[in-house]
Amino acid sequence: MKILITGAAGFIGFHLCKSLLENGNDIFGIDNLNSYYDPQLKTARLNHLQQFSNFEFSKLDIADKEKLESIVSKFQPERIVNLAAQAGVRYSIENPYVYLDSNITGFLNILECCRKFEIKGLIYASSSSVYGGNETYPSHPEDKTEKPLALYGATKKSNELMAYAYSNLYGIPTTGLRYFTVYGPWGRPDMALYKFAELILSGDPIPVYNQGKMKRDFTYIDDIIKGTVAAIERNFENEIFNLGNNKSENLMDMISILETSIDTKANVNLMPLQPGDVLESYADIEKSEKLLGYVPKTCIEEGIPKFVAWLKQYKSENGK
């Protein structure tokens, strides 16, 4: 298939491109390579992808409607996968406007491209953040999602509503994937697992919010990619899926596995809850199992050591 992937130099985008390229698909990647976190990591991911002859790339902001349209009209993809977004819950409190540009205007441009160039399927990243402060677990795709705790979650929920409207108006098949705390090699330096690992390695204290009383459904990147590829292949009319591990882990247990993997005790600095943070995430994946054949296989005891091994190698190769 010919697939256009936005956010291609990002964590999930890189792994998705790699997997689809290895299976012989033609991929056009787009990314604005912004400096929300170290762009050197994005360039390093991109260097790997550029070794494939079936990979093309353009540095582009999806908020730039004209340039985006020109690429889509030339490449004529059979699917668009939209992963480009301003991520991060806490950052959305300090920098609200960038979320509107990338996650709302950018997403509308993607939908407009789907309409204008009659794209046969759009798959886009939503987030567990849409469940906001809900207190019933595990979270089911049909649960109410009207109370996001930060702007980031509000933009992701808006994407789901916008996609629904475009499916309804123009018959564009759209699939939203609510990812739950994705981790693994080539991961995101702004996320807790990566930050904690770096701080433990350097012997600095790790800030643990809400006194460590938080739970997350940590999902290994390989499982996320399998679920995303299934969504691309099965191409539903209009669906939303949870992609999680279906296991909510205590933050302190995650830290303890990290300590074992690094073979160093963490210097834990207990802190109050941060505004916008949810206390727990936990995915009900029954629908994903049934319709996507999604069965996550990697537990954190197996996934965290793989992440740590990659991090050590990446740091030593790049003098970090």
Ligand X SMILES: NC(=O)c1ccc[n+]([C@@H]2O[C@H](COP(=O)([O-])OP(=O)(O)OC[C@H]3O[C@@H](n4cnc5c(N)ncnc54)[C@H](O)[C@@H]3O)[C@@H](O)[C@H]2O)c1
Nearer to ligand X among residue 9 and residue 163 (C-beta): 9
| Cross-strand partners of 243 | 179
Closest by CA position to 199, among listed 41, 298, 315: 315
Instruction: Please identify which of the residues 152, 183, 194, 282 carries the catalytic annotation.
Output: 152
Render 258-302 in DSSP notation, one character per residue: HHHHHTS---EEE-PPPTT--SB--B--HHHHHHH-------HHH
| Residues 284, 140 contacting (CB under 8 angstroms) | yes
Q: Which two tokens stand for residue 234?
A: 């099965």
Question: Residue 79 belongs to what H/E stretch?
Answer: strand 79-82
Closest by CA position to 287, among listed 250, 208, 234, 249: 234
Report which DSSP code applies to 137.
S
- Least distance to ligand X, CB of residue 151, Å: 12
Nearer to ligand X among residue 88 and residue 121 (C-beta): 88
Chain residue whose CB lies nearest ligand X: 10
Residue 124 has φ and ψ, to the nearest 5°, of -135, 155
How far does CA 283 lie from the centroid of its chain? 15
Residues interacting with ligand X, by CB under 6 A? 6-7, 9-13, 30-34, 42, 61-63, 83-87, 102, 106, 125, 127, 179, 181-182, 188
- Least distance to ligand X, CB of residue 159, Å: 9
Q: 278 to each of 70, 132, 144, 210, 249, how far by Cα in Å? A: 40, 6, 15, 10, 14
Nearer to ligand X among residue 10 and residue 303 (C-beta): 10
| Cross-strand partners of 126 | 178
- Least distance to ligand X, CB of residue 125, Å: 3
State the Cα–Cα distance between residues 203 and 263, nearest whole angstrom: 12
- Least distance to ligand X, CB of residue 188, Å: 5
Nearer to ligand X among residue 9 and residue 154 (C-beta): 9
- Least distance to ligand X, CB of residue 85, Å: 3
- Least distance to ligand X, CB of residue 9, Å: 4
Cβ neighbours of 22 (radius 10 Å)? 10
| Cross-strand partners of 249 | 216
Nearer to ligand X among residue 17 and residue 257 (C-beta): 17
Based on the residue annotation, tell me whether 282 is a catalytic residue of this protein: no
Nearer to ligand X among residue 34 and residue 54 (C-beta): 34
Instruction: Give the catalytic positions in this structure.
Output: 152
